[in-house]
């Protein structure tokens, strides 16, 4: 490979791909100066052009594999999305000794172990800063900047769509479906927003963050995952009254030789920095033994923020090629053979405090029954709100914050509570984290 010019191939001209082209066009001079070598976008593979970027000076193929198979290309940027074709593309590039940069969190979460093994075998670099939290350099922070720390845990707002929806619901008391429609109209949510809403997108990102934080293999099915569609405007209002905000968090904690990994709506104290990250912004809070608590905040998506992360990886590779130091640091911080084999804490064993919202008949003895059934599972009440019924209405709203209890104990208590004649419908429940 040439040390004078590093030839880059780009596969995909969607939102992020157009951002990469625009950064090349805008900042080529400063990028080359920082690389210590010439960086050239030599070949683009895309099924169609994108009017949001100028590709007139670049060689373009309609077959992305023409880029991966181009003998002149040193670095392949994969931005086509999905897993099947993307995996084949990355394998093709790595097998030919080309370095790869990707923004594909689903690919890394699902196939990363296999692809990292191939990269190690071929002496290539596989980089994926843009796969998590867009423009926030969280992967580099975990893998490099905090290399001298034991990472104790992390929690993050790692899906901007979900954060936007919860922010709007909280600030204006709007219904979930109404805000989701606005998010789609603004381009924050896809036509099919399932992965954003049900937590799948955040779970993919958490898998990557946990692997980096704890030096463990990627485990796609590890996180317990719960979406935001069951959070009601009144939950956000009650949380505020109790001194909390509700955020959709990915949480990972090391517990000896086990890891607690989960994605779900979470009540967090309103005075925590991450509780005040609103709109489409992302944030990751890292707890480590040397630095203590570190909070990163920034744009989690978008053409230029994500392209910025892509170009950061490309620049690292170009610098290493110029210096003859390939490969870079292992993708997960340590070589695959040295990754720790850690078990995942079963969902039922995870202990948190809980937010409970009940609709009950307004009559004496109801709270005594509820308290008794919680107490039978050794669950005590830390805070309580009760809203008296409106005139002519015989039911009241009760909101409870419990002390810490496992999901198994809470479920047993709620099963009994929901059988009470005085309790109407199901009990709404959300986890509470004090951090």
pLDDT, one tens digit per residue, over 116-138 is 999 999 999 999 999 999 999 99
Segment 281-297 shows an average pLDDT of 97
CB 428 within 8 A of CB 357: yes
Model pTM? 0.96
| Cα Rg of the chain, angstroms | 24
Contact (CB, 8 A) for 301 and 160:
yes
pLDDT at 265 over 50: yes
pLDDT recorded at residue 256: 95
8 A C-beta contact, residue 206 and residue 223: yes
Given a cut of 50, whether residue 2 has pLDDT beyond it is no
Task: Quick: pLDDT tens for 389-432.
Answer: 776 678 899 999 999 999 999 999 999 999 999 999 999 999 99
Q: Residue 290 — pLDDT band, cuts 50, 70, 90?
A: very high
Whole-angstrom distance, CA of residue 10 vs CA of residue 21: 9
pLDDT value at position 91? 98
Q: Strand pairing partners for 186?
A: none
Task: Please name every residue paired with 383 in a beta bridge, in sequence order, or none if there are none.
Answer: 401
Rounded distance between C-alpha atoms, residue 82 and residue 44, angstroms: 18
Q: Which of 200, 196, 220, 201 is closest to 210 using CA atoms? A: 220
Give the tokens for residue 152: 């104790």
Mean pLDDT across the chain, nearest whole number? 95
Question: Per-residue pLDDT tens for 54-107?
Answer: 999 999 999 999 999 999 999 999 999 999 999 999 999 999 999 999 999 999
**CA distance linking residue 395 with residue 389, whole number of Å:** 6
| Residue closest to 208 by CA, chosen among 303, 103, 306 | 103
Q: Which residues contact 367 (CB under 8 A, 6 or more apart)?
A: 386, 398
Structural domains in the chain plus CATH codes: 5-135+303-338 (3.40.50.720), 141-299 (3.30.360.10), 347-432 (3.30.70.260)
- Give the active site residues: 205
pLDDT of 231 higher than 50:
yes
Residue 344's Cβ-count burial label (10 Å; 0-12, 13-18, 19+) is: middle
Residue with tokens 């984290």: 433
What CA–CA distance (Å, rounded) separates 138 from 196? 20
* CB 281 within 8 Å of CB 365: no
SS3 163: helix
Q: Is the pLDDT of residue 223 over 90?
A: yes
Q: What's the sign of the alpha-carbon dihedral 386, 387, 392, 393?
A: negative
Q: What is the pLDDT of residue 391?
A: 66
Give me the helix-helix angle, 176-185 and 160-172, nearest 10°: 130
């Amino acid at each position: 490979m040439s040390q004078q010019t590093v030839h880059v191939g780009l596969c995909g001209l969607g939102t992020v791909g157009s951002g990469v082209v625009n950064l090349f066009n805008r900042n080529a001079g400063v990028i080359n100066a920082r690389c210590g070598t010439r960086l050239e976008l030599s070949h683009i593979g895309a099924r169609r052009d994108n009017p949001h970027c100028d590709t007139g000076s670049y060689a373009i193929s309609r077959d992305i594999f023409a880029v991966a198979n181009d003998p002149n290309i040193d670095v392949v940027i994969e931005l086509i999305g999905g897993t099947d074709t993307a995996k084949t593309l990355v394998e093709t590039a790595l097998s030919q000794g080309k370095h790869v940069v990707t923004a594909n969190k689903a690919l890394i979460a699902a196939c990363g172990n296999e692809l990292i093994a191939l990269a190690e075998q071929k002496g290539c670099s596989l980089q994926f800063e843009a796969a998590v939290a867009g423009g926030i350099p969280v992967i580099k922070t975990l893998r490099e900047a905090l290399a001298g720390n034991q990472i104790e845990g992390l929690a993050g707002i790692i899906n901007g769509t979900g954060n936007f929806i919860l922010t709007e619901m909280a600030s204006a008391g709007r219904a979930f479906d109404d805000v989701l429609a606005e998010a789609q109209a603004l381009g924050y949510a896809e036509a099919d927003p399932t992965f954003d809403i049900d937590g799948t997108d955040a779970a993919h990102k958490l898998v990557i963050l946990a692997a980096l934080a704890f030096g463990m293999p990627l485990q796609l099915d590890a996180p317990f995952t719960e979406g935001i569609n069951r959070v009601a405007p009144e939950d956000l209002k009650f949380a505020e009254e109790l001194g909390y905000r509700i955020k959709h968090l990915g949480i990972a904690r090391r517990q000896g030789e086990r890891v607690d990994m989960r994605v779900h709506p979470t009540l967090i104290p309103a005075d925590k920095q991450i509780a005040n990250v609103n709109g489409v912004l992302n944030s990751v809070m890292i707890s480590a033994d040397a630095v203590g608590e570190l909070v990163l905040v920034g744009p989690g998506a978008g053409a230029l923020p994500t392209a910025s992360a892509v170009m950061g990886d490309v620049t690292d590779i170009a610098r290493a090629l110029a210096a003859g130091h390939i490969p870079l640091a292992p993708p997960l911080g340590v070589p695959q053979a040295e990754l720790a084999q850690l078990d995942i804490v079963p969902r039922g064993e995870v202990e948190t405090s809980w937010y409970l919202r009940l609709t009950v008949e307004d009559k004496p003895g109801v709270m005594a029954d509820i308290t008794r059934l919680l107490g039978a599972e050794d669950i005590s009440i830390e805070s309580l709100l009760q809203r008296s019924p409106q005139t002519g209405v015989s039911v009241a709203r009760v909101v409870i914050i419990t002390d810490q209890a496992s999901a198994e104990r809470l479920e047993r208590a709620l099963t009994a509570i929901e059988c009470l004649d005085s309790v109407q419908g199901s009990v709404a429940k959300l986890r509470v984290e004090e951090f």
